[in-house]
Amino acid sequence: MSGSHGTLEVTIVEARHLKDEDIVGKNDAFVEVYLDKDYKQRTKTIKNNNDPQWNEKFNFNLDRNHDDLHLCVYDDDAVGKDAIGSAKINLKKHDFGKGDFDEWVKLPALLGLRSKGEIHVTIHHNPDSK
């Protein structure tokens, strides 16, 4: 996949076991997804659910400088947004020639060992047709 172009079709399918230690009750979660910080896309917010299902598709133009797809899960609250957890998917490690990326990605806690949950992501790579 190194040096490849084309587009990535990223589907944020769902999440499970989302945890935000600061909040009692359920999260109002949304996901920001990006290849570079200047161009972030986000899912809708799903209220009051620690196992939200989004099934939202995002398209990204792929550039050879893009090694990682970044996922940041937030709790949307009245004063702004609290980060629940974030992860990145190394695009170089997945061989898209053998099929799509389709797995549960853990959201590691920034401090400490507890996971903040998992997010189910699929990625389809459309190479440039030349």
How many Cα atoms occupy the beta-carbon half-sphere of 72 within 13 Å?
14
Please check the confidence at residue 113 and state whether its pLDDT lies above 90.
no
Q: Answer whether residue 78 is part of any domain.
A: yes
pLDDT at 1: 45
Q: Answer whether residue 1 is part of any domain.
A: no
Domain range for 70: 6-126
Q: Residue 55 belongs to a domain with what CATH number?
A: 2.60.40.150
pTM of the model: 0.88
pLDDT at 2: 47
Q: Are 98 and 64 in contact (CB under 8 A)?
A: no
pLDDT tens digits for range 11-56:
999 999 998 665 567 889 999 999 999 999 999 999 999 999 999 9
Task: Report how far residue 113's alpha carbon sits from residue 109's, in angstroms, rounded to the nearest whole number.
Answer: 6
Please check the confidence at residue 112 and state whether its pLDDT lies above 80.
no
pLDDT at 48: 92
Name the DSSP letter for residue 50: S
